[in-house]
Amino acid sequence: MKKSNKGIDAELIDGKIIDFFSSLADKTRLSIILSIAEKPRTVNDIYSFVGKEKMTLSAISHQLRTLSDLGIIFSVKNGKEKYFELSDKFCWCVLRDAFSQFNSKLKIKCKKCEKGHK
């Protein structure tokens, strides 16, 4: 591991942190994240939220796989349906706070904070 002169792990900055914020910077992936911010949703629910006229179902599935590979989201199978939800490994307050900075009242559940406050 490379360390910068301030003790920050340079590989971490180049890798996981950049991937995380890049995911938030991509309009499609951000729309997917917002679609599951309040509650878990199926791929078809997400597809409808993002807009069927904007992307194919296959493209949505690809983005879901990317977000899942990064650990940003995860899925739970319930019968034949697979429900996607935000990972509780991240503090989603950063996203909520970014939206509130621009006068948007985004409802987002931060399981990590909810666990910490109990």
CATH of the domain at 46: 1.10.10.10
> What is residue 16's predicted lDDT score, i.e. its pLDDT?
80
The SS3 of residue 81 is strand
HSE (side-chain half, CA atoms, 13 Å) at 28: 17
**Would 110 be classed as within a structural domain?**
no
> What is residue 21's predicted lDDT score, i.e. its pLDDT?
87
Domain that residue 16 falls in: 10-86
Give per-residue pLDDT as tens, 1-17: 455 556 666 666 667 88
In the chain, the number of structural domains is 1
Under a CB-based contact definition with an 8 Å cutoff, are residues 95 and 73 in contact?
A: no
* Least trusted range by pLDDT, from 7-11, 47-51, 69-73, 75-79: 7-11
Pairing of strands 81-86, 73-78: antiparallel
**Would 74 be classed as within a structural domain?**
yes
